Amino acid sequence: MSLRFLRPDPHGRTDEPGQAGQAGVADSPGLAGLAGSCGLVVDVRGGQADDVEAVAQARRAWRRFLVLMVVLVVVCAAAGAGAARWWSSHRPRDPYPWETSVASNYRPPTTTPTPELTPEPTPTSTSTSSSLLSAEEQALREAALATPAPERPATIDQFTPEGAIAAAEYFMALYPYVHATGDLSAWQAMSTQDCQYCSNISDRVTRLHQGGGWWDPWQHELTVTEYGTSQDDDTIWVVAVTISYPASMKHDGVGGSTATSPDTASLYIQVHWTGQSWLVEEGQAA
């Protein structure tokens, strides 16, 4: 087979016009079209049938190559999807695979540090005598102890996302109340026995009020930023909240006081549906 590369002529001619009309090329429209479009002229003088067959074989080989590439792409895609499904079913399961972005942030700690929504200064005395208080401080203490308790929403008794969120909101509404009054009944009623965060707050409030101290009551602003449920157990939810609280004052019960500045804190609250209501299982600083 003999091939010669020529520049295509805009008028459809070659540099050897006499050869363009040879029977082998004229009788093969497909071959002539291929030659005309590519600037390729086949010299049929050395073996016309062999040249046509060679071009046909080249076309068939090219088509087979394209089919092979398509099959290869499809097989690779299927293999990749299969590998992803296998890994998804065999990888170690996250015990808390949350459905929202809480999933990437929240992990219940092995030892739960108590998030400080307000600073906790070191006590200077353990005296419980109210006689050490001035008349002004005594009035402040009586006002703090008379702080009304937040109202418990009925939604907490509903197995719904709104119920889980209401439980977290109510629980954090109790936070300033227990610090002001020392009354932990509602706080403990909302806490599970294993909630380390809940018991840390209870212990701190108990120590403060047993020493005659208290916090001046404050009103904070709470915003729910995210919430999600466990894919393995839909009775467990996590609610992420941001709390903005104003300046406040802690009294030690012996005439000393500590002021705090306005601040903002973020907290994850894990709640659990018991079958009758939502309870708080854990709290973690974000």
What is the predicted pLDDT for the residue at 131? 61
Does residue 96 belong to any structural domain of this protein? no
Same domain, residue pair 19 and 139: no
What is the predicted pLDDT for the residue at 8? 40
Q: Which of 54, 74, 94 is the last residue of a domain?
A: 74
Same domain, residue pair 137 and 183: yes
pTM of the model as a whole? 0.58
Domain span at residue 50?
2-74
Same domain, residue pair 136 and 37: no
What is the predicted pLDDT for the residue at 94? 34
Residue 169 CA to residue 259 CA, distance in Å, equals 25
Minimal CA–CA distance to 201: which of 221, 218, 177? 177
Residue 92 CA to residue 94 CA, distance in Å, equals 6
- What is the total count of domains within the chain? 2
Tokens at 105, concatenated: 């942030």
List of the chain residues with pLDDT < 70: 1-51, 80-131
What is the predicted pLDDT for the residue at 202? 97
Does residue 64 belong to any structural domain of this protein? yes
Same domain, residue pair 63 and 107: no
The 3 state secondary structure assigned to 202-271 is HHHHHHHHHCCCEECCCCCEEEEEEEEEECCCCCEEEEEEEEEECCEEEECCCCCEEEECCEEEEEEEEE
Does residue 177 belong to any structural domain of this protein? yes
pLDDT by residue (tens digit) across 115-142? Answer: 444 444 433 333 444 567 888 889 999 9
Minimal CA–CA distance to 24: which of 55, 52, 57? 52
Cβ atoms < 10 Å from Cβ of 115 = 17
Same domain, residue pair 28 and 167: no
